[in-house]
Amino acid sequence: MAIKANEQISVVIVDAQELVRMGIKAGLSDSGQIVVIAEGKTEEDVGRLVKEHHPDVLLLGLNVFIKPGTPGGPLAVCDMLKRLVKVTPTRILALSRYDHKGLVQCVLRAGAGGFMLKDEALESREELIQAVIKIARKGRLPLSGTLYEKMYPNSAVIEEVPQLTQRKIEIMQAMADNPQFTPAQVADLLGIAESTLRNNLSAISRALDTPNTNGAMIECLRLGLVQITRERIRP
């Protein structure tokens, strides 16, 4: 449920590094409406603290999912995020020191409401506070300009929101709502042929000047054309 403008926002911070947790907590202390109610440092803390405190927003350092000798990399992290999203309405702001495009795309497709670089979170209190507020109120956070430039260094600056038809926006929203669906399942949900879906996705990627559907989804999230919602249709 979205947080109203006059309501306090409860936050749980989980990150493997104590200095990061301290810095984030200090950065949120001057907001006047954000309250840090618990902290943790391990993967086990994530589920336990969310279950105990039911925070509005979870600030989640992705390093809690990475253990020595654990295979899978970003895909393993995103699989864990998908499982977390299924069991809690808490909105998630993922934090990482790494800006790898595949990681960012995977995390957002897994259901996180936003992705923020730790350096940005620690260096700018205002950006951190606004990120938490946007996640709490709207359920999503557009990519910061810095992160977008790192992901798409050769992209032209977009001065206006590209014009997509309502149907194309509905297609992207259906994919955002159901990241576990195959293209065939999304097409069936929308009542169209899979070939029609794929043609639309190609057209959307061209319209947004992105290399593929994942890039188009990131751009739709950044521009506010699509939102990550909690009410998802299950297969």
The per-residue pLDDT for range 155-173, each reduced to its tens digit, is 544 444 566 788 888 899 8
Among residues 121, 151, 181, the one where a domain terminates is: 151
CATH number for the domain spanning 133: value is 3.40.50.2300
Please report whether residue 2 resides in a domain: no
Report the distance separating Cα 220 and Cα 69, nearest Å: 35
Q: Percent of the chain, pLDDT > 90?
A: 35
Please report whether residue 44 resides in a domain: yes
- Is the whole-model pTM more than 0.85? no
Please report whether residue 4 resides in a domain: no
What is the arithmetic mean of pLDDT over 169-198? 90
Report which of 28, 159, 5, 184 is spatially closest to residue 93, judged by C-alpha positions.
28
Is the pLDDT assigned to residue 230 strictly greater than 50?
Answer: no
Helix then strand then coil, in percent of the chain rounded to 5, is: 50, 10, 35
How many domains would you assign to the chain? Answer: 2
- Same structural domain for residues 13 and 102? yes
The answer to which of 24-28, 29-33, 151-155, 163-167 has the lowest mean pLDDT is 151-155
- Same structural domain for residues 120 and 214? no
CATH number for the domain spanning 194: value is 1.10.10.10
Would you state the pLDDT for residue 221? Answer: 77
- Same structural domain for residues 84 and 186? no
Is the pLDDT assigned to residue 4 strictly greater than 60?
Answer: no
Question: Which domain covers residue 184, as residue numbers?
Answer: 166-223
Mean pLDDT of all residues belonging to the chain: 82
- Same structural domain for residues 140 and 176? no
Please report whether residue 229 resides in a domain: no
With b meaning 16 or more CB within 10 Å and e meaning fewer, what string describes 43-59? bebbbebbeeeebbbbb
Please report whether residue 189 resides in a domain: yes
- Same structural domain for residues 131 and 108? yes
pLDDT tens digits, one per residue of 72-102: 456 677 778 888 888 888 999 999 988 877 7
pLDDT tens digits, one per residue of 121-149: 898 888 899 889 988 888 877 677 677 66
User: What is residue 62's three-state secondary structure?
Assistant: helix
- Same structural domain for residues 21 and 118? yes
Please report whether residue 160 resides in a domain: no
What is the arithmetic mean of pLDDT over 3-21? 86
- Same structural domain for residues 134 and 184? no
Confidence of residue 186 (pLDDT cuts 50, 70, 90): very high
- Same structural domain for residues 146 and 186? no
Among residues 103, 125, 151, the one where a domain terminates is: 151
Please report whether residue 179 resides in a domain: yes
Is the pLDDT assigned to residue 64 strictly greater than 90?
Answer: no
Would you state the pLDDT for residue 34? Answer: 93
Would you state the pLDDT for residue 109? Answer: 80
Residues 6+ away with beta carbon under 8 Å from 109: 78, 176, 179, 214, 217
- Same structural domain for residues 47 and 106? yes
Report which of 120, 145, 130, 109 is spatially closest to residue 218, judged by C-alpha positions.
109
- Same structural domain for residues 84 and 196? no
Would you state the pLDDT for residue 235? Answer: 38
Please report whether residue 234 resides in a domain: no
- Same structural domain for residues 19 and 79? yes
- Same structural domain for residues 82 and 117? yes
